[in-house]
Structure 1
């Protein structure tokens, strides 16, 4: 089978929404080439440092690559991708150059090329994300290993917004807690919650492919007795009470269900939100306060913000 590589020159702010657009168009995963990766300082606790080749990165901004099968509908699919990316402007998202290029690759190159970007990464005090094809030996007895196959969908679990959520879960989830993961994607936050001692985790996503991908990752990490994955629109018709709700999605979407989050949480329960660009920080903060939450902690990583809020 022939495959087409679609390459989009954009901004870091647009990485998450464009990655989701590409997935919905049929891409099984994305490669992200971010110039910032060459210069940013990394704390040693966040894992291995790899020698990066500057020739693999743009001179400015971010390049996102994905692979689509060459079919008679490819041109229509590319047009739909372009239209959806342009639509991000209406959400106040900077899409930068927004230069889209298409090239053809053979199946063997497509199947293996992206793996060179994905290695075991320690993302918090306890958690290390490991690709399924890598051999990794824990460096400490209390290290928690999450295995993911990013070829299934929704990235590698190492994006700053995911890291912020996992670090927040690590500080807040208690043994026997009930947790809800809204917009679960790969299921990585649900898996982390289960490994931290939650007795019941309910993960929701509107995308049926995400539900399938998360289910596979849950089985891979042997937490299917704790984590249930189902298709649902945010918290519609979901009943509580639960101890923790975590949501790593766009700020605009978070603001759509703050009242539902308050309804489903127990008194004093925690609402962890991420996927928030710095420009939307105050808007989300005000929305949480208006929904009767107290902001207990605000954490920033690069251009991303996460809140830990408690139901009053």
Structure 2
């Protein structure tokens, strides 16, 4: 099966936006480049109208230009070995793929074979969420990871001693990859679910709820998140820009969530909120 390749040049803020939007209309593989992103989809699966609507919507603001081509089936594992570097979160966390050597001097080692799913640790939002997790007591806690991607945040929760973990994502590719990554990190009893938070409908309250998605989804689902966080529990949010903090904070406060801490990196932000 041949793949279509779209070499998309765009301004920096639109890389993740385009990856998120294109993944919703069938694109299953992405590589970030100096100019923007390369996006791939099986030739027989492309919805031209949906694709063009996304490009037209962001073309002017993102200064988007596209070169389309065709390429044979790609060995994505080989591509990842060329482009995927290990990640270090301070001197405590080492995120690696199977082709990287172990580093036993790090307290926490996370083994990820990303398979092109979002959430490898390279993006600022994932890095920020991991950094926040290191500051919280997970031992014996009940954890929920919403929009889990590769499962990296759920894995971090496991490494930090969480007693019970639930995770889910809307994308089937992420679900399969997440479960593979759970197995690599000794979490075979945890299986990733599929769907939105409303579709999955997690039961009970959680000590820590993690959601690294995007601003619009976070604003829309904030009331649901508030209902899932126990009194005194923590809600960790990311997937939005630093200038969006006020909007996120205002929406959260209307549901009894108070900002405790914020971190920023490369203009992206991540917050810790508490349910009073």
TM-score by length of 1: 0.80
Q: 1:234-264, CA deviations, whole angstroms, 9 ceiling, x for partnerless residues?
A: 2553222210001001111111122222221
Deviation at 1:130, TM superposition (A): 0.9
CA distance in 2, matches of 1:80, 1:294: 39
SS of equivalent residue, structure 2 residue 220: coil
Q: Which residue number corresponds to residue 49 of structure 1?
A: none
Q: 1:29-82, CA deviations, whole angstroms, 9 ceiling, x for partnerless residues?
A: 31112xxxxxxxxxxxxxxxxxxxxxxx33xxxx111222333x54xx344223
CA distance in 1, matches of 2:219, 2:135: 24
Deviation at 1:161, TM superposition (A): 0.3
CA distance in 2, matches of 1:168, 1:185: 18
Deviation at 1:127, TM superposition (A): 1.6
CA distance in 2, matches of 1:176, 1:19: 35
CA distance in 1, matches of 2:100, 2:225: 39
CA distance in 1, matches of 2:51, 2:42: 14
Q: Which residue number corresponds to residue 20 of structure 2?
A: 20
CA distance in 1, matches of 2:48, 2:180: 28
SS of equivalent residue, structure 1 residue 171: coil
Which of 94, 99, 121 is the equivalent residue of 1:128? 94
Q: Which residue number corresponds to residue 6 of structure 2?
A: 6
Unaligned runs of 5+ in 2: none
Deviation at 1:270, TM superposition (A): 0.3
Which of 144, 158, 161 is the equivalent residue of 1:197? 161
- 1:259 matched to 2:232: no
Deviation at 1:104, TM superposition (A): 2.5
Unaligned runs of 5+ in 1: 34-56
Deviation at 1:135, TM superposition (A): 3.1
- 1:84 matched to 2:84: no
Which of 34, 38, 41 is the equivalent residue of 1:68? 41
Q: Which residue number corresponds to residue 232 of structure 1?
A: 195
CA distance in 1, matches of 2:19, 2:82: 19
Equivalence map 1:1-312=2 (5 Å) = 1-33=1-33, 57-58=34-35, 63-71=36-44, 74=46, 77-87=47-57, 95-107=61-73, 112-132=78-98, 134-140=99-105, 142-225=106-189, 227-235=190-198, 237-312=201-276
Contact 2:77 2:115 in 1 (8 A): no
Contact 1:30 1:155 in 2 (8 A): no
Contact 1:272 1:307 in 2 (8 A): yes
SS of equivalent residue, structure 2 residue 138: coil
